[in-house]
Amino acid sequence: MNRILIAIGSNYDAARNMAAACQRLEELLPGICWSAVLRTRPVDCPRADFFLNRLGEAVTPLSASKLTGLFKQIERQFGRTPEHKKKGIISLDIDLLQWNDALLKPEDFRRPYVQSGLLSLNTTHK
């Protein structure tokens, strides 16, 4: 089994999209533990709308490439398109941050919402 850490976020119909995405990811990753949901300012995004973000920690037998493909498929199901991304409309973003001991997106670990999410996971799920 592989231990993973994911980040999800949305700035478009965010509350609804986040709730539905969490439900879908719980089907894909039974037993996933979620951090608290955080409201964050956009970073490198042309749209000024706030994001909702949260982290999820899970174990899975799936490979990193299989998970990434499934995450992209889920993003598309939630309406994410290249055109929307260019405009800063992010209906859903799912990133695989960590795969076992490998940090796949080390720059994201410096973001305040990731640090807060990690603290939330560590205090809530010990």
- Determine the angle formed by the axes of helices 14-28 and 64-77, rounding to 10 degrees: 140
Q: Taking the alpha carbons of 115, 34, 57, 69 in that order, is the dihedral positive or negative? A: negative
The rounded mean pLDDT for the chain is: 92
Q: What is the pLDDT of residue 21?
A: 97
Q: What is the pLDDT of residue 85?
A: 86
What pTM, to 2 d.p., does this model score? 0.91
Q: What is the pLDDT of residue 45?
A: 67
126 pLDDT tier (thresholds 50, 70, 90): very low
Within 1-126, residue ranges assigned H as helices are: 14-28, 64-77, 82-87, 112-124
Higher pLDDT, 40 or 8: 8
The CATH number of 2-103 is 3.30.70.560
Q: Where are the domains of the chain?
A: 2-103
DSSP bridge pairs for 102:
99
pLDDT single digits (tens) 32-75: 999 999 998 777 766 667 899 999 999 999 999 999 999 999 99
